[in-house]
C-alpha cells in the first residue's frame, strides 16, 4: 500500500491532486489498485453508508 509523502501533509486538496497526477505520470500508467485495496474501500463505504430519508415536500 502506498504511503503519503511528508511533503504532501498540510497542503490543499487541489495541490495533492496535482502532485498525485504528476506522480502517476511518472509511473507511465502502472498505478493499479489491487483487490485488497478495492475491498478496503468497499468496506469503508459500507461502514459509513446512511439510509437516505429525504423530507416529505407535500
- Total domains in the fold of the chain: 1
CA distance 33 to 9: 22
Domain assignment present for residue 23? The answer is yes
pLDDT at 8 over 60: no
Query: pLDDT tens across 13-38, in order?
Result: 888 888 888 887 777 656 567 888 88
* The pLDDT of residue 9: 65
Residue bearing cell 498540510 = 10
In a domain, 32, yes or no: yes
At 4, the pLDDT band (50, 70, 90 cuts) reads: low
* Alpha carbon distance 7, 17 (integer Å): 13
Q: Do the domain assignments include residue 54?
A: no
- Give the Cα separation of 17 and 8 in Å (integer): 10
Amino acid at each position: 500500500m502506498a504511503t503519503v509523502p511528508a511533503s504532501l501533509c498540510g497542503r490543499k486538496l487541489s495541490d495533492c491532486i496535482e502532485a498525485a497526477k504528476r506522480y502517476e505520470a511518472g509511473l507511465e500508467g502502472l498505478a493499479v489498485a489491487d483487490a485488497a485495496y478495492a475491498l478496503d474501500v468497499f468496506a469503508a463505504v459500507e461502514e459509513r453508508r446512511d439510509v437516505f430519508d429525504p423530507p416529505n415536500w407535500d
